[in-house]
Structure formats: C-alpha cells, structure tokens
Amino acid sequence: MFIVTGESLIDLVAGSNGTLVPIPGGAPYNFARALALQGVPTGYMNPFSEDGFGASLSQALSASGARHLGRTSTYPTSLAVVTSDWHGHPHYSFYRDGVADRDMDLATLLAAAPETATGFHTGGLALVPPDDALVMAALQHFRARGALCTVDVNMRMQLAHSMGIGASRYRDAALAIVSAAHVAKVSDEDLHHLGFPGAPQVAAKALLHRGCRLVVLTLGAGGAWAISPREQVFQAAEIVDIVDTVGAGDCFFAGFIAALSRAGVQYELRDRAPPAGALTQALRHASICAAINLGRKGCAPPTWEEAEQWRGR
C-alpha cells in the first residue's frame, strides 16, 4: 500500500457569479484519490474533522477506492478560497490554524501505518514549517523500512508568509525533504521559489546532487521532463480545452507513479532510476491523466481505464 500524508481541505471555489462552491481538495489528498483511481492500493493518514466538510472529504476519498487510515478530529476542516486569473491559474487563500488535518503527531501517524506500506508520499503544505518536522521524521522512518518515498514540492509562499515563516526557512525545509526522498516532482515555479535560477532543466538536475534519484519537472503547457543521473526524457503536453487547472499536477504525478508500478519498475527507484523506455511511458500516461482532469471542473482524477481510452483515441 502507498500511504499519503499532508493536507486535506475544502476548496471554496469562486464562481463567475461570486458564489463559493465547496470542493474536496488539498494536494496530498488529491494525490491519494488519484493514485487509488489508477488502481494502486492507497491509504490516507491525516485526520478528518467531525464536521460536515470532514464527512465530504471522507466520502470522496472512499469513493476513489482509497482507505482512510487516520482518525477523526474535533477541530474544523481546513479551508482554501480559490480564485482564478485570466489564464485559468488558481490562486489560494488558506485558513489553517487549529484544523483537523494538522491534528496529529508522529506516534499517531506511525501507529496507523500498515505493515504493508511500500510507498510514502507527501508534499504541499506539509512542507511548510513547523509541519515539516513531522513529515521529515515520517519520511525517514518509511525510507528506513524500504518504502519508496515521493514528494510533490508545490511551494506555497503566500501561506508561509501569512504564518510568519520566512522564505529561507521554508525553502530549507522543502529542500531537506526533497533530499530525503527518492522521487521529487517540481514545477518551474517551484524551482524559482527554491532558489534555483536559470533554465528549469539545469535547476532540476541540481536537485539530483542533493540525494533524490529522479526529478519530475512539469512545465504546464510546455510539457514535462523526467530527469535522472543517466536519463532525460521529455513529454509534450496533451492538447485539451482547459476547464480549470485545479488538481492537474496531483493527477499527473499519481499517473506517473501508477504507470511505473504497472511496468514493474516502481521500486527500482529506491536504488536507481528506471530506463528511458519506462520513463517515457510513465510521462505519457501522466500527461493524459493531467489532460483529462484539465477538462473537468475541480480535481476529478481519471481512472486507469479512462486514461487508456484517451490514449487509444
């Protein structure tokens, strides 16, 4: 089972008429749903609130086929108000103090983890101090147990600033977790916030020197790269009419990991990067998963079968 820790929240998405529509979200939570729909056994670790929004999160997770391994909390559900710019890119305002998905400690997390945990994923708001300490300890624990460890950096500078967390402290925390993981997914924007100037491909290679085995670099409409010490594989973005971009990166990375799993090379990443052919197939599948989600409202991950049907069009 691939286990996931990190934020789960309700995205309050602003409509054209000014109303806010509640949609289950949070990058690691979206990844858990997307990975389960791709046929990979998945468990989500963070608590859900006992409130109505917590019930919605629990129901959507269960509907995807993922298991909730955490407990319930009396704290309220975390919220994010989501607006989009003229290009359809989402902007978030987070409400994260005293919330359910942060109501946990290392002992509780490890106690809920099954012995069959063969993968560990985190990212997003979990990398923002002080939550990074819990995530780092968990990642080191599961890596020592032989689990494949993945991280989606997904930098949120505005949130860190609103919490009084300096940019350098946040950057150092994210880089430390990237260094401890086997696979890191970053965007060109993430690399900028991490302090790597210049061409994204060159910056992505610099992360390999920090300890991870593989960097997955996403460039939006510019496609994506899988970069290891031996390979550099590119995949163009699929052509799709974009409805919105919420959750596209989460669906992309889940599709990538699922494709490597189907190819039987997922756990090679604990020691070395897979060959170019496997990376090429994984990037294509990941791009299709992202494209399908881009054509839907909110984060609505595809199943493995839906992605295969797209490929065969």
Q: Enumerate the domain spans of the chain.
A: 1-117
pLDDT for 24: 93
pLDDT at residue 267 in the model: 63
Going by CATH, does the domain composed of 1-117 fall within 2.40.50.140? Answer: no
Give per-residue pLDDT as tens, 73-112: 999 999 988 776 666 566 778 889 999 999 999 999 999 9
Rounded mean pLDDT of the chain? 91
pLDDT at 89: 64
Q: What pLDDT shows up at residue 88? A: 57
Looking at residue 87, what is its pLDDT? 61
In the 3-class helix/strand/coil scheme, how is the chain assigned residue by residue? CEEECCCCEEEEEECCCCCEEEEEECHHHHHHHHHHHCCCCEEECCCEECCHHHHHHHHHHHHHCCEECCCEECCCCEEEEEEECCCCCEEEEEECCCCHHHCCCHHHHHHHCCCCCCEEEEEHHHHCCCHHHHHHHHHHHHHHCCCEEEEECCCCHHHHHHCCCCHHHHHHHHHHHHHHCCEEEEEHHHHHHCCCCCCHHHHHHHHHCCCCCEEEEECHHHCEEEECCCCEEEECCCCCCCCCCCCHHHHHHHHHHHHHHHCCCHHHHHCCCCCHHHHHHHHHHHHHHHHHHHCCCCCCCCCHHHHHHHHCC
What pLDDT is attached to residue 275? 87
Positions of the chain with pLDDT lower than 50, given as ranges: none
- Quote the pTM value: 0.94
Q: What is the pLDDT of residue 254?
A: 98
